[in-house]
Structure 1
Amino acid sequence: MGREQELRAVISRVGGLDEAAAAAAAQRLDSLTKPPGSLGRLEDIVKQLAGITGQTLPSVERKAVVVMAGDHGVCEEGVSAFPQEVTPQMVANFLAGGAAVNVLARQAGAEIICVDIGMASPLEHPGLLQRNVRRGTANMAKGAAMTREEAVEAVLAGARIAEELAGKGVELLATGEMGIGNTTASAAVYAVLAGVPVEDAAGRGTGISDERLGHKIEVIARAIKQNEPDAADPLDVLAKVGGLEIAGLTGLILGAAAERKPIVIDGFISSAAALAAARLCPASAAYMIGSHQSHERGHSKLLEEIGLAPFLKLDMRLGEGTGAVLAFHLIEAAVRLQSEMATFESAGVTKG
């Protein structure tokens, strides 16, 4: 079986939500000691999770955030405030437990899976999942970031990780990433797939100046003109102007949907991957949960393009999966309410 055939097989496993389970969950929600619908979007979470899992009382006890790491050749163009060597340094920080996502994951009782899917420099560590497709992308301002075959391999690597984690009993997944320069690639992917102007897609990333933002916009526009990615072919877009961690997250989302596992989408980079996944498999969007609206310009419109409504707006722009892990608390609160609240009948409360 060819790699693209293998990917099509993953996509073919993504089915619709279990409407009967969602309806049963809604019925139980209405039986709880509260006015109907009074828990707002927490009730929506429960119904979505029921539809995904087929369980009226869904469980999210086992949680994991997958942090995909990759490097970007476009950093040669000076689009980031940080040098490329920060990527492996931060991955080492994740593995040592010292990054923001580690702190938040510990609080949420979630596991962190750190993946080398495209780092330019090899890093040996027993806790690092080695799935490197190539040692960083090429400079997309001068040619394709990677070959189509490499993009497909990265997507499949992400899908396999989702399958492996589901097999180990993980019930709720989240997307995370690390890669200096990846807001540049994400903005290019978003601009092409959604057909929006580069000026509306590109933001400040790690906090660049006005002058460097203007340069970043010019570099993205040049990369799109140079490569002519086909907006109707998400794999072509990922290969020409994307990143290995973006492709890996695309696969993680598709794999989660194929395994009927909910997946929480983090910030701008993760959302670009989610848009690619939704374009490859529209049914996969029903398995996604939006976490937060980041400070990055264009993120709110990108979420709208996918059909995701974020729960939080904290002006965060860190990435790593931090916003998604914060959303874990709300999701767990929702399922606890569904399973632990008394019903009108059991509490002896008169129903209105």
Structure 2
Amino acid sequence: MNSEIAEQIQHKIDFKTKPMGALGLLEKLAFQIAHIQGTLTPALIKPHIIVFAASHGIAASGVSAYPPEVTAQMVLNFISGGAAINVFTKQNGIELLVVDAGVDFDFGKNEKLIDAKVAFGTRSFLTGPAMSAAECQECLRRGREIVAHVHATGCNVIGFGEMGIGNTSSAAVIMSKLLNVPLADCVGKGTGLNDGQLSAKLATLTQAMQNHGDTGANPLRVLQTFGGFEIAMICGAMLEAAERGMVVLVDGFIASVAYLCAFQMHADLSLHAVFCHESTEKGHGYLLRHLNAEPILHVGMRLGEGTGCAVAYPILQSAVAFLNEMASFESAGVSNKSL
């Protein structure tokens, strides 16, 4: 961290016409964004949210309240403009991109959909690795490539959403393996399981972990064994965004697990990451506490799609606005505190 610019940013924040710290998390966000950009006058330019969608082989084992075909149906909803993420990105002036990372459906040619399909869904990790090592690397590469193209448009703030029936199962197992915590602390109700279905989900995922023996805690190997194409692409996308000096918006549970994988590959990602909300999915709060992350919102959301990023974005705008536009004690002729 450049200590000189950090001191200048903090001084500018502290000498605005307010008690020190009175804007709470806004002050931390203003500092983080300004420091990422290396300037006292940060700007959020051409914000984007990219939704990566993929099908999961584990979904056939009844780990979700919704059938696997909902993944493709929701992608069609995204590109027709009818989903929550469409509403919130439009509301807040955010560009939305939808990526087919590996959905079990042939969408044909559609200018509203980025075709990055690795395969028609992962294999079930109940019986074998979800993807091959080559497929996992290809996901990382394609995620990076998509972000590189977005960055070339001038974008400097980017969020990532996901769609994939069964992906809370992938995320829970990845989290359990990488943090070495009990699976029961990571598994939640996903899209809305009842208590009996949740118990069955936990039993299925426990069996899957046992079937693979000791995979270790290498993020690439764990991602390959239990991940989804969309989770792996988000991982690569986050790494690329950080390397290009962008602000990285982290959504809910699945996106946070993708972040965990990426963070364990390159810890500097943490300097760029803004955690947008804490979802009600069981493992998310545990994961955020492990990461010492302070989410912006606590509004009971658990939808995914990048919706937490879109809803939190105006808070980032407020943080940048006060830093750039609010008067200082000196410029406003206001007396600072005497003690």
Consecutive unaligned residues of structure 2, counting only runs of 5 or more, are: none
Decide which of 288, 313, 320 is 1:303's aligned counterpart: 288
* CA shift for structure 1 position 229: 5.6
Determine what percentage of the aligned residue pairs are the same residue: 38
RMSD over aligned Cα atoms: 1.2
Q: Which deviates the most, 279-288 or 224-233?
A: 224-233
Please state if 1:163 is matched with 2:127: no
Residue of structure 1 equivalent to 2:82: 98
Where 1:120 maps in the other structure, the secondary structure is coil
- Cα distance in 1 between the residues matched to 2:55 and 2:2: 39
Please state if 1:175 is matched with 2:144: no
- Cα distance in 2 between the residues matched to 1:127 and 1:103: 16
Residue of structure 2 equivalent to 1:252: 237
Paired letter, 1:263: V
Paired letter, 1:177: E
Please state if 1:122 is matched with 2:106: yes
- Cα distance in 2 between the residues matched to 1:117 and 1:200: 28
Decide which of 60, 71, 89 is 1:87's aligned counterpart: 71
Paired letter, 2:93: G
Paired letter, 2:75: V
- Cα distance in 1 between the residues matched to 2:275 and 2:83: 22
Residue of structure 2 equivalent to 1:13: none
- Cα distance in 2 between the residues matched to 1:276 and 1:308: 15
Please state if 1:334 is matched with 2:300: no
Residue of structure 1 equivalent to 2:134: 149
Could you tell me whether the CA contact under 8 Å between 1:63 and 1:170 is conserved in 2? yes
- Cα distance in 1 between the residues matched to 2:292 and 2:153: 30
Residue of structure 1 equivalent to 2:187: 202
Alignment of 1:210-249 (within 5 A): 210-228=195-213, 230-249=215-234
Could you tell me whether the CA contact under 8 Å between 1:18 and 1:50 is conserved in 2? no
Could you tell me whether the CA contact under 8 Å between 1:159 and 1:252 is conserved in 2? yes
Q: Give the TM-score normalised by the residue count of structure 1.
A: 0.93
Q: Which deviates the most, 63-72 or 338-347?
A: 338-347
**Number of aligned residues:** 336
Could you tell me whether the CA contact under 8 Å between 1:25 and 1:57 is conserved in 2? no
* 1:75-105 deviation line (CA, Å, top 9, x unaligned): 1101111111111111111111110011111
Could you tell me whether the CA contact under 8 Å between 1:285 and 1:307 is conserved in 2? no
Could you tell me whether the CA contact under 8 Å between 2:131 and 2:224 is conserved in 1? yes
Alignment of 1:61-80 (within 5 A): 61-80=45-64
Structure 2 vs 1, CA of residues 175 and 18 (structure 1 numbering), >3 Å: closer, same or farther?
farther
Could you tell me whether the CA contact under 8 Å between 2:177 and 2:217 is conserved in 1? no
* CA shift for structure 1 position 345: 1.9
Could you tell me whether the CA contact under 8 Å between 1:274 and 1:306 is conserved in 2? no
Structure 2 vs 1, CA of residues 228 and 158 (structure 1 numbering), >3 Å: closer, same or farther?
farther
- Cα distance in 1 between the residues matched to 2:215 and 2:8: 42
Where 2:50 maps in the other structure, the secondary structure is strand
Paired letter, 2:290: E
Consecutive unaligned residues of structure 1, counting only runs of 5 or more, are: 1-16
Where 1:309 maps in the other structure, the secondary structure is coil
Decide which of 266, 273, 277 is 1:288's aligned counterpart: 273
- Cα distance in 2 between the residues matched to 1:306 and 1:106: 31
* CA shift for structure 1 position 140: 0.6
Runs in 1 of length 4+ with deviation above 4 angstroms? Answer: none
Paired letter, 2:157: L
- Cα distance in 2 between the residues matched to 1:291 and 1:262: 12
* 1:126-163 deviation line (CA, Å, top 9, x unaligned): 11111111110001101110011111110121122222
Q: Which deviates the most, 127-136 or 230-239?
A: 230-239
* 1:253-278 deviation line (CA, Å, top 9, x unaligned): 11111101011110000011011011
Structure 2 vs 1, CA of residues 55 and 191 (structure 1 numbering), >3 Å: closer, same or farther?
same
* CA shift for structure 1 position 233: 1.2
Where 1:175 maps in the other structure, the secondary structure is strand
Decide which of 238, 244, 247 is 1:262's aligned counterpart: 247
* 1:300-345 deviation line (CA, Å, top 9, x unaligned): 1111222311111111111001111111110110000001111222
